[in-house]
Amino acid sequence: MGHRLAVLLAAVSLPLAASAAPAQAAPSTVPLGNVIPAPVEVHPGGAPFRLTPRTVIEAPPAARTVADRLGEALKPATGFRLPTVGRASSRTPVIALSLGPGVKGYRLTSTRDRITIRAATAEGLFDGVQTLRQLLPAAIDARTPQKVDWAVAGGTIADYPKYAYRGAMLDEARHFHTPDEVKQYIDEIARFKVNYLHLHLADDQGWRIQIDSWPKLTQVSGGAGTGVDGVGGGFLTKADYRDLVRYAAARYVTIVPEIDMPGHVNAAQVAYPELTCDGVAPPPRTDTEVGYSSLCTSKEVTYRFAEDVIREVAALTGGPYIHIGGDEAHATAPADYLAFEQRVLPLVAKYGKIAYGWHQIAQAPAASKAVAQFWGTDDTDADLVAAVKTGTRVVMSPANQAYLDMKYTEDTPLGQDWAALIEVHDAYGWDPATRVAGVPASAVIGVEAPLWSETLRSLADIEYMAFPRLPAIAELGWSATYSWDSFRARLGSYGPRWDRQGVNFYRSPQIDWS
């Protein structure tokens, strides 16, 4: 490619650059930039890199785990050894992970014998590694050795996130999903540079996290039959939870625990009737009604309960946020709701964490130091707009665009439709910076794609609803530019990767699946 054309291509938008790339690379290479989420800058050029049986991964000690994980990811399909080394000899083909100051995000350079990923942090290198995986042929996701020319197009990518918070949420309460299923989901979302996983750990049906000071929560409400329609059940022991936190952290995913209060607490009240105002235990419920249960805000025991739970959950949490729910408290009088939030939001700070809740918490002045998760369908919210002026920060999860439990079409066999039918184009078609009038970009820390599991039992169910909409939300959280045509084309070529991984995705008719 002539120099002038290269300069031109670098200056134009991604879809053009991506589709023009094959002209200068071997026909089998993935066009540089054919990555989800779209990288910020893509400059194709030069000879492709080839992964061979002799390739080594070079990494300093601080990047060793990222390097080892890259090797593990590439081994099954290539059958190559891909050892991690401190320094490669100059004649060996190498994927070099390099840590150094001055790089925003990561920078990936692909040349004939060397791919270099440079970043200021190991997290940046991890992000670059996710990009590299998508630049290899789709067969790289196969689980057994494939005979493939493992070429990566030549050129440079400079990339960094738009928002710091790019989340997914999984509802463990309505149907319990095992630690292995959660780990699998973590692997699947981390590919798209999602860096937070919010776990909804308690609701009316069941309580899913061990709390030592209130042991009956899981003994009574965590067992078999506590899922929706009496299907499934279970809970995470503290050991399970710590293991999940570690597993996620190794993939640069931070787990955000949610204990929903003061509503969505029937399971807690079945176990501890003193949490109701009349002291009478309600019957266990496995239907999908919402908004009928409330902690008794006038009883002191309620605040001992809230504090004990927050303290124990904070001790399990590596990240900065504890989510305390606050949605659909229809059975709590408005004044009681405010009084409750005024006392409970500061408890999160008392245990060293930042309070996070559904956007209704914005009604409480104490939410000025909190993060509010917008899950509305309207284009503004007076309480949220007022709260933002006092310092509240916002995660955007508009239910009619970001909710992964909404059906794609009327015919989707799983999911609900109370907020909207959400096809891929709808999931991609909004801007977190302008979604809520009066909530400026400066107040938005990012996006999250929640997945409520009333209708979802298995990992296959989860995958079907999450993919391909989760990558759409991930791209809104990461990418500097917005282009449906480009996203649509990149998504179409991602299908074979999910096929190889065995991921059960929805083949939206809006996408040309290759």
Residues 335-366 as b or e (16 or more Cβ within 10 Å = b): ebbbbbbebbbebbeeeebebbbbbbbbbbeb
Quote the CA–CA distance of 286 and 253 in Å, as a whole number.
Answer: 31
Q: Give yes or no for residue 452 binding ligand TNX (CB under 6 A).
A: yes
Q: Give yes or no for residue 375 binding ligand TNX (CB under 6 A).
A: yes
353, 372, 374, 347: which is closest to 361 by C-alpha? Answer: 372
Nearest residue (CB) to ligand TNX, 337 versus 452 = 452
Nearest residue (CB) to ligand TNX, 140 versus 395 = 395
Nearest residue (CB) to ligand TNX, 68 versus 328 = 328
- The amino acid at residue 395 is V
Token pair recorded at residue 56: 């080594």
- Closest distance of CB 405 from ligand TNX, Å: 5
Token pair recorded at residue 81: 């050894």
- Closest distance of CB 163 from ligand TNX, Å: 20
- The amino acid at residue 378 is D
* Residue in 327, 336, 383, 499 binding ligand TNX, rule: CB under 6 A: 327
Question: From its phi and psi, is residue 505 left (phi > 0), alpha (psi between -120 and 50) or beta?
Answer: beta
Q: Give yes or no for residue 188 binding ligand TNX (CB under 6 A).
A: no
Per the listing, tokens 């990566």 go with: 152
Nearest residue (CB) to ligand TNX, 63 versus 170 = 170
Q: What SS3 class is residue 210?
A: coil
- Closest distance of CB 328 from ligand TNX, Å: 5
CA pseudo-torsion sign 107, 90, 134, 490? positive
Task: Restricting to residues 215-234, name those near ligand TNX by CB under 6 A.
Answer: none
Task: Restricting to residues 156-185, name those near ligand TNX by CB under 6 A.
Answer: none
Instruction: Determine which one of 188, 289, 328, 341 is catalytic.
Output: 328
Total residues contacting ligand TNX (rule CB under 6 A)?
10
Per DSSP bridges, beta strands 155-159 and 106-110 are antiparallel
Site string for ligand TNX, 426-445 (x = CB under 6 A): --------------------
Known catalytic residue: 328?
yes
CA pseudo-torsion sign 390, 391, 397, 398? positive
Task: Restricting to residues 404-423, name those near ligand TNX by CB under 6 A.
Answer: 405, 416
The helices-and-strands tally (H runs, E runs) of the chain is 17, 17
Quote the CA–CA distance of 81 and 90 in Å, as a whole number.
Answer: 18
Task: Restricting to residues 275-304, name those near ligand TNX by CB under 6 A.
Answer: 290
Quote the CA–CA distance of 504 and 101 in Å, as a whole number.
Answer: 40
* Residue in 358, 428, 467, 494 binding ligand TNX, rule: CB under 6 A: 358
- Closest distance of CB 25 from ligand TNX, Å: 44
Which one-letter DSSP state was computed for residue 38? P
User: What contacts 175, CB < 8 A, 6 or more positions away?
Assistant: 227, 228, 231, 232, 453, 454, 456, 457
* Residue in 328, 336, 383, 499 binding ligand TNX, rule: CB under 6 A: 328
Q: Give yes or no for residue 383 binding ligand TNX (CB under 6 A).
A: no
Strand partners, 199: 170, 257
Nearest residue (CB) to ligand TNX, 21 versus 404 = 404
- Closest distance of CB 501 from ligand TNX, Å: 27
- Closest distance of CB 454 from ligand TNX, Å: 6
- Closest distance of CB 404 from ligand TNX, Å: 10
Nearest residue (CB) to ligand TNX, 150 versus 452 = 452
Quote the CA–CA distance of 160 and 478 in Å, as a whole number.
Answer: 7
- Closest distance of CB 455 from ligand TNX, Å: 9
Nearest residue (CB) to ligand TNX, 129 versus 344 = 344
User: Phi, psi at residue 268, to the nearest 5°?
Assistant: -65, -40
List the Cα angle 383/202/356 in 5-degree steps.
Answer: 35
Nearest residue (CB) to ligand TNX, 205 versus 479 = 205
* Catalytic residue set: 328
Positions in the binding site for ligand TNX (CB under 6 A):
290, 327-328, 358, 375, 403, 405, 416, 452, 454
